[in-house]
Every structure is written in structure tokens, then in C-alpha cells.
Structure 1
């Protein structure tokens, strides 16, 4: 994998982790769920790990220059 693809996967993984973690903290604050910060951090790692797997699959079968599942020509609207 190229450094561009690895950076793309890292960005997507970080975004998945942060949004999940913040979502759990907000749900806890709104009494929608009872989750400690440590548990929220651990739970947020699951979608982040899945994001790594999705990115690896995307770089193999989708757009070879990114972690996207759609070929680049479809994402750019040139199909």
C-alpha cells in the first residue's frame, strides 16, 4: 500500500474513533446510555478497527489510490 492510502486509512480510522467516542459520551450525558469514559474509549476502538479493515479492502478492490470502495472514476463522476 502506498503512503497516500495509509494516510487515507489513518484519517478514516481516527474519524471513526473520535465520532464514536464523542457519540458515546454525549449519549451518557443525555442519560441515553450509562458508559464510563474508559468504556467509551474501549468501545470506540471497535468501529475504528473495522474502519482499518474496510480501508484495506477498499485499497485492494476499490480505488487503488485510496481507501474508498468505489473506483475513483465513479467517485469523481466520470463513469
Structure 2
């Protein structure tokens, strides 16, 4: 019998877990940084007149963009990383 050359189930699960952790970290970090930056900036003289919920919504949009980027990075880059950088 010939083998197809598929990776073991352990490797697939490990790679999927690594990818999920990497992507979740990037999305959460993007949300926190965007929310903090908008909320701090908006309070300084009401720059742009951003309300609290508008700031949170803007951070959510940034996090969603990060999620989409991570999914595209998996499709076009390293399979176990949400980064577009090679070797991550």
C-alpha cells in the first residue's frame, strides 16, 4: 500500500490550535489598543465628538479587520500563523 503523505492528526490539531491562539491574540490586542486610543483621544477636548459607544464600535471594526486579515494570512501565508510575515 502506498501512503498519501498526509500529516498526522496530532500535527493538524497542534497547528490549528497554534493558529487559533495567534489569531485570537491579534484580534484582542487590536481591540484593546484601538479602544484605548480612541477613548483617550476623544476625551481630550472631544476631538471628533466620539461617544463612548462610537469608540467601542470603532474598536470593534478594527478588531473585525484584524480577524479578516488573519484569515487571509492563513489562506496566503503560513498555515499555522495569522501573520502575513514569513516564518511567524
* 1:5 corresponding residue in structure 2: 19
TM superposition shift of 1:49: 0.3
Give TM-score, length-normalised by structure 2. Answer: 0.74
In terms of Rg, which structure is larger?
A: 2
**Number of aligned residue pairs:** 73
What are structure 1's unaligned runs of at least 5 residues? none
* 1:28 corresponding residue in structure 2: 42
Give TM-score, length-normalised by structure 1. Answer: 0.81
Alpha-carbon separation, structure 2, partners of 1:70 and 1:61: 11
Equivalent residue for 2:81, pick from 59, 63, 66: 66
Alpha-carbon separation, structure 1, partners of 2:33 and 2:49: 17
Q: Could you list the structure 1 runs, at least 4 aligned residues long, displaced by more than 4 angstroms after superposition.
A: none
* 1:17 corresponding residue in structure 2: 31
Alpha-carbon separation, structure 1, partners of 2:30 and 2:73: 16
Alpha-carbon separation, structure 2, partners of 1:44 and 1:58: 21
What are structure 2's unaligned runs of at least 5 residues? 1-14
